[in-house]
Amino acid sequence: MKFNIEKREISSLTTLVHRAAASKNTIPVLSGLLIKVTSDKGLTMTATDMEIGINASTTNLDIIEEGTVLVNANYFADLIKLLPDTFISFELSQENSRLNIKYGRSSGKINIYREQDYPELPINKMEYRFSISQKVLKEALKKTAFAAANNHFRQVFTGVLFDILEKGDIKIVASDTHRLAYYSYTLEQKEIEPFKFVIPMRTVNELLRLLDDSPEIIDISLSENNVIFCTDNFTLLSRLIEGQYPNYETVIPTSFSTEFNIKTGVLSASLERAKIMPTDDKFKIQHVQLCLQENEAVLNSYSDSMGEISEIIEDIEIEGEKDVKIAFNTNYFLEAIKVFDAECDNINIKLSGPMSAAMLKNPEKENYLYILVPMRTNN
């Protein structure tokens, strides 16, 4: 194998792929980056730790001799990132089991693994299911994934649910049982068999890194326990989280006793200030109490050790019951408000009393909502 390529080209490709390699694994080849050079596909890179796999390619190179080599992914990526911006020459030395790298008058040598032991990604076993624009998928994941649990005895709550319904309706949902983020969209494909699957957060994070904000489509295919997200620029394969996701529709309230709109930026700034209050030993979760009065909202945060903050937000039109006190996890409340602050000046909040879940929505959009379960406090 021998080829020449610009540093920027191979650096962007390596950055795209290498993170899928195992950083800690007893099987050395899984920490590898498979580099394959062919006349028809150009330079293709693949990395996998058997939980996730990424494959990407480029034809912007000068191929002298075709071939395949397997190198340590992290070391190769670190080295490429630090090389000067110039043409780089790569040549495989089978006799020395090394990949020779030349840049200007300087050079480096990287030891290689046996590529024969490297597992193939089960791409050929996948069945195409549907397509969606990269922009829509990226928006859906940004608006939902933060609500998934970091740890939970039911693993499905640590991932993001894709629920594809009849007539092309898709719901993308994440919940840690204390909150739920729900995004809906209608696919162009109307004739589609209903199905659902849950992807891990690591897969979500990689997708958010790989996707762009373009209308270009991404194809989604499935096998029994894997999903593939495929574009012209990359292929990402991931294991699915096994288990039955609970019926999320049942936790979305349908009737409310109080409704009001509040300025998103003002509420976000108030919650940021409330967040500086430390937690106390007797109540280890940061929380804020929302008190509604005639035409205003009061946000109170309190700490035995540090003090108290009381934020008054005026000129609020409240419909329904006005004398309401309800407490929320400060971080859970703020994370949602930040999502809405990026797209709307006002946020619509609906309540059903101090111990019932609240619903947060953009008053001008119907495809996204956030459900927040209140906290029990002594106040």
> Which phi and psi angles does 246 have, rounded to 5°?
-60, 165
- Measured CA to CA, the distance from residue 333 to residue 342 in angstroms comes to 15
The structure's pTM equals 0.93
CATH assignment of 253-372, among 3.10.150.10, 3.40.50.1370, 1.10.10.60, 3.20.20.70: 3.10.150.10
- Measured CA to CA, the distance from residue 282 to residue 289 in angstroms comes to 17
The partner residues of 318 in beta bridges, in order of sequence, read 260
pLDDT at 25: 67
- CA 72 to chain centroid, in Å, comes to 26
Amino acid at 289: Q
CATH assignment of 2-117, among 3.10.150.10, 2.60.40.10, 3.40.50.11740, 3.30.420.40: 3.10.150.10
- Measured CA to CA, the distance from residue 270 to residue 265 in angstroms comes to 9
Could you count the other beta carbons within 10 Å of the beta carbon of residue 304? Answer: 12
| pLDDT tens-digit series, residues 101-134 | 999 999 999 999 999 989 999 888 899 999 999 9
List the structure tokens of 377.
């406090």
- Measured CA to CA, the distance from residue 16 to residue 29 in angstroms comes to 19
| pLDDT tens-digit series, residues 133-175 | 999 999 999 999 999 999 999 999 999 999 999 999 999 999 9
Three-class secondary structure assignment of 92-145: EECCCCEEEEEECCEEEEEEEECHHHCCCCCHHHCEEEEEEEHHHHHHHHHHHH
- The two domains 126-250 and 253-372 share their CATH topology (first three levels equal): yes
- Measured CA to CA, the distance from residue 244 to residue 206 in angstroms comes to 24
DSSP letter for 354, please: T
Report residue 281's pLDDT band, with 50, 70 and 90 as the boundaries: low
| pLDDT tens-digit series, residues 19-68 | 999 987 668 899 999 999 999 999 999 999 999 999 999 999 999 999 99
Three-class secondary structure assignment of 173-237: EEECCCEEEEEEEECCCCCCCCEEEEEEHHHHHHHHHHCCCCCCEEEEEECCCEEEEECCCEEEE
CATH topology of domain 126-250: DNA Polymerase III; Chain A, domain 2 (3.10.150)
**So where are the chain's domains?**
2-117, 126-250, 253-372
